A and B are shown apart, each in its own frame.
Chain A
Amino acid sequence: EAGVTQFPSHSVIEKGQTVTLRCDPISGHDNLYWYRRVMGKEIKFLLHFVKESKQDESGMPNNRFLAERTGGTYSTLKVQPAELEDSGVYFCASSQPGSYEQYFGPGTRLTVT
């Protein structure tokens, strides 16, 4: 069974540009989470989808971030426009319905210059 996959693995963009990160959860996992680790800091929760619905988006830093999960399968996280402080590693995780156990992807390293 394939694990959580994320694309791209690394993205380098200039300040003011737009970037879209993609996450493919494990098949059958209704729960999908986004987290972010800014350099030197802890991994922080961004938001949680249950199928296509946003269950909790309390961790989204501001309205430059837009997450979608159309059809309840893969999810995208768009940053527009990107700022220097958005640099970090963005992790996606998924879990089965009714499970607290989250499986993480390899992360996307975003560098904003």
Chain B
Amino acid sequence: AQSVTQPDIHITVSEGASLELRCNYSYGATPYLFWYVQSPGQGLQLLLKYFSGDTLVQGIKGFEAEFKRSQSSFNLRKPSVHWSDAAEYFCAVGAYGTSYGKLTFGQGTILTVHP
């Protein structure tokens, strides 16, 4: 069965510190992957995406993620966190060969930023 795991339910960092949010997946087919962010009272905003090619992808707001096929991981990173990054982050995976269909989401990671 397809699954996505975000091991950390809640992470707290200080403003200016670096950040890494983990995402591991288990998929039978070749995956494509996304990170979404949901700020309080807002919808899901696409941060970045990986379909193929260069395994290090850049997104909005200074985020990047690295696809590691051997580790089945797609971790999200940011070198210096800003207070406005406090939000919930979701890793989502889809499978090529399906009809542009469903995404499987991780449980989400809530990020708290201390001043």
Residues of A that sit less than 8 Å from B by CB: 3-4, 31, 33, 35, 41-45, 48, 50, 55-56, 58-59, 91, 93, 95, 98-107
- B108 x A33 contact (CB < 8 A): no
A100-B51, A106-B43 known; A50+B105 contact, CB < 8 A:
no
Whether B63 sits at the interface, judged by CB under 8 Å, is no
B90/A43 in contact, CB under 8 A: yes
Size range of the chain B interface in the assembly: 20 to 34
Q: CB distance A99 to B105 under 8 Å?
A: no
Q: How many A-B residue pairs have CB under 8 A?
A: 63
Contact A104 B100, beta carbon cutoff 8 Å: no
* Cross-chain contact A104 with B36 (CB below 8 angstroms): yes
Q: Is the CB of B43 within 8 A of A104?
A: yes
Query: Does B104 touch A at the CB level, under 8 Å?
Result: yes
Known: A43-B105, A93-B44. 19 other contacts (CB 8 A): A33-B102, A42-B4, A42-B106, A42-B107, A42-B108, A44-B105, A45-B102, A45-B103, A50-B99, A55-B99, A56-B101, A101-B46, A101-B49, A103-B46, A104-B36, A104-B44, A106-B42, A106-B43, A107-B44
